[in-house]
Amino acid sequence: MSALVFDGVSRWYGDTVALADITFALAPGVTGLLGHNGAGKSTALKLGAGFTRPSAGSVRVLGQDLSASPAAYRRLGIAHDRDALWPFLTARATVALCARLRGARDPEAAAGRALAEVGLAEVADRRVGGFSHGMRQRVKLAQALAHEPELLLLDEPLNGLDPAQRRHIVELIMRLGDEGRTVLVSSHVLHEVERMAPRVLVLVNGHLVASGATPAIRDLIAERPRSIRLRADDARGLGRELIGAGLVESVRFEDGAMVVEAGDVERLGRELPRLARDAGVRLRRMEPVGDDLESVYAYLNERARGVGR
């Protein structure tokens, strides 16, 4: 049985659709939940955590409906995106309290273990009120895993961490997955998700536009045509040459620069200098256009629409 099942889940707030008809079932191990800000990642995690209810469809957490019975919280760990902790408690007291409330057998020992796992053993007895963002982030993670849950929902757990801490937490999340737990980790950074999640769900504007093995999604994103802006002294001449050589699919002119669309960017990059030299054109500048995540998602979204979604 899958630990988290979304079946035709939609969530809307007034006229705004946060999630539209999402269906998935998580397999054990780590799954990435990828999407830009506002794509519906947090809403999806909130629904999984039982903090809000779907407007349509159903969410089953460990086989149960959390709104009918909170019993499943014993086996569920949640690190939400809000920077919320009781400032007057120490890290140890915070994690032990959460473990106790969720029925851990030895909450103090569980807290000690979890804080050591996230690398906070040395500051465990300090009040979290004085903690840095990265430390708070790790306390939130520790309380999510202290009671050894089967399902973990982690909302952007790497936010605010420095590179060394990121590496450490990525390893920890991978270990949780290897232990057979089901882990859903949200992020807006693809390469981050790539490192820890063999599978990924991609949300764009509330729609699930892609899901599957992370490398396949990576390829899908890499294969999309890219726009490149070129500046050269004889741009028109160069454009003719590029089209003639079959290196680009289209050419247009914008603000005195030439924008070409290429299916195979690597090949374009390899052959462009030689082509320019042969044509006697001086190439001044070459830069990608819209290579940000936003346009990657937009591409996936359009592609998803194209296949009849």
Partner 1 sequence: MTAAAPLSRPVYLLALRRLLSGRRFIVLALLALVPAIAATGFAAAGEIEPELFWARLVQRLVIPTVIAFIAVVIGASAVGDEREDGTILYLASTPLPRLTIMASTIAAAWTVTLGLTVPALLLPGLIALGGEADGPLLAWPAAGAALAALCYCAVAAWLAMVVRRPVVIGVLYILLWEGSIATFAASADRFSIAAYGRAVAVEGVIDVNAPGTSAAAAIAILVAVATVATWWAAGRMRRTELP
Handedness of CA 289, 293, 294, 296 (dihedral sign): positive
**Residues making contact with partner 1 (CB under 8 A):** 46, 49-53, 67, 70-74, 76, 78, 80, 82-86, 88-89, 97-98, 100-103, 143
Residue closer to partner 1 by CB (options 137, 214) is 137
R_g of the chain computed on alpha carbons: 24
Residue closer to partner 1 by CB (options 71, 216) is 71
Q: Which amino acid is at 67?
A: S
> Smallest distance, Å, CB 130 to partner 1?
14
> Smallest distance, Å, CB 13 to partner 1?
9
DSSP category for residue 149: -
Which two tokens mark 174? 């991978």
Alpha-helical segments (H) within the chain: 41-49, 91-101, 107-117, 133-145, 163-178, 190-196, 214-223, 235-244, 265-279, 293-306
Residue closer to partner 1 by CB (options 82, 285) is 82
Residue closer to partner 1 by CB (options 88, 253) is 88
> Smallest distance, Å, CB 293 to partner 1?
26
Residue 44 to residue 47: CA distance in whole angstroms: 5
Residue closer to partner 1 by CB (options 143, 227) is 143
> Smallest distance, Å, CB 85 to partner 1?
7
> Smallest distance, Å, CB 51 to partner 1?
4
Closest residue by Cα to residue 301 from 197, 225, 221, 228: 221
Closest residue by Cα to residue 4 from 83, 102, 78: 78
